[in-house]
Structure 1
């Protein structure tokens, strides 16, 4: 059975750090590299063109599209299928509940949903340390994520992690335990 992990949270909540800890625990965990159309940071993305996006949309292969920071970020069907090849478990980073809903509804797999949270002050501290040049936009996104989460009080999470208090390796071990318990691997 195909499986994946959805990490939801505001900017600088630790999605990249916890994904790195997961990949150290088990090589089957892989970062899902979203398609990005735009400029800025390229690490962790598959850079694409507006024409590629139009082609994916025409084929119905866009699972979720998010426009933020002047860029377009896409979770696409071919990308997810490739990420799951060979029994791998992709870790998908999302900051919008609509993305969580669309991925689980439009791409059949066993999805483990994890809420990562940190304070706004922590986002303000971490953002420039990780090289962001648009910390004000990241703080606005933190506010939007908090409002989005509040608008979905019945959202289901297999795990909630306060990354102000939990170490990345500890969080990764807890996520790994849930993946192994809820969907046994061969």
Structure 2
């Protein structure tokens, strides 16, 4: 059975930190590296060109595309299918429509949707500590990220990342063949 985890939440909710802890618990968890064009960090992404994304779009190879922070981010069908067959992909998302797009595009996979959240003031502090120079944009994104119906909700301001990862790992192991995205 193919399984995956969607860590959904606003910027600075702890998606990177929880993913690191998950992969330490079990190396079959792997951050799904989205395709990316544009500015910003490159670590954790598969950098590509706008022309490549356009070609994927025409071929029906894009499951989800979003733009933020001067960049375009894509979850591609081939990459996600491969990730589902070689481990447990961990997707970072911040748009409810993206969650639905992923679960709808992979009907044979079992997805655990986890809503990671923290209060805005905590997020603002975490964003400032990153010193990426785009605090206002990230706080705008925080404001624009609505809650989502999730299998688990974890407040990362009150839950240790290791505890969050263990909770997610346990829930992922409990996914059954009768559960659909």
Q: TM-score range by the shorter chain?
A: over 0.9
Corresponding residue for residue 141 of structure 2: 141
Residue 166 (str. 1) matches residue 165 (str. 2):
no
Deviation at 1:182, TM superposition (A): 1.7
Task: Return the alpha-carbon distance in structure 2 between the equivalents of residues 130 and 183 of structure 1.
Answer: 38
Q: Map Cα deviations across residues 54-86 of structure 1 (whole Å, 9 max, x no partner).
A: 111011111000011111110111111222233
Q: Secondary structure at the match of 2:10?
A: coil
Structure 1 gaps, min length 5 = 150-154
Corresponding residue for residue 30 of structure 2: 30
Number of aligned residue pairs: 176
Aligned partners of 2:37 and 2:72 also within 8 Å? yes
Q: TM-score scaled by structure 1?
A: 0.91
Aligned partners of 1:63 and 1:107 also within 8 Å? no
Deviation at 1:45, TM superposition (A): 0.8
Corresponding residue for residue 42 of structure 1: 42
Deviation at 1:20, TM superposition (A): 0.3
Residue 89 (str. 1) matches residue 88 (str. 2):
yes
- Which stretches of structure 1, 4 residues or longer, exceed 3 Å deviation after superposition? none
Q: Secondary structure at the match of 1:19?
A: helix
Corresponding residue for residue 152 of structure 1: none
What is the RMSD computed on CA atoms of the aligned residues? Answer: 1.2
Structure 2 gaps, min length 5 = none
